[in-house]
Structure 1
């Protein structure tokens, strides 16, 4: 596929099919980001829009709840009920997905990707990558960067 259509097309198809473009022996499978449909509850939907609109913003539960006009406790319950995960987990996943795209498509340092994805530090991003993907950002880049 890559030889016929180039690395960009091969990468997109591999992600769509959830297969490893160049999978070495013994390497675990990486899945592409899972798209979460917008919530039906207006406050939760507004919070999703805020999170996706600027993953570098202050996205603590207290801030999001205030922005959508709910108490923290009620917001956390509604968000988790609507999307199946707590707001903090959702924010981390959006930031990981943002960093993944940067590492795949742009020749930026890991520290720059961490800042542009909303992580406080490269170490925080590294821990999130290990937790969510089982691999460090540098290793992820070596596997998925489009050259």
Structure 2
């Protein structure tokens, strides 16, 4: 199979390396988990941290859901060659999770949530993440190509 990318984009086994932006998007999708870990690490201020980021506890619990596919993608990425069909499908699971997050944010805004700088930044980041997950050729190849 001819290489579509520079040789430095492949690992020692001939598989396409993970795009850096992919890790960033996984972190974006798992942002509520990050806040949870941060709050757990700050024992005395944990409740204050959760309250600052998620004043409504229902949004906090719902926010944990899109982080699950992201965490599973992180764990599967090193062993993607063991389950190539599942791995190829997982890109679309991440797209669906990102679409749900974006729809949820828009619904909250429509219901009257204040549009702050943080909310707007996350909205723009989520729109970009959804676009990139759908349109990136490199990411598509990362999920489908393997050189063995």
Which structure is richer in relative contact order (CA contacts within 8 A, separation 6 or more)? 2
Structure with greater proportional helix content = 2
Same fold (TM over 0.5): no
Relative to the length of structure 2, the TM-score reads 0.30
Relative to the length of structure 1, the TM-score reads 0.30
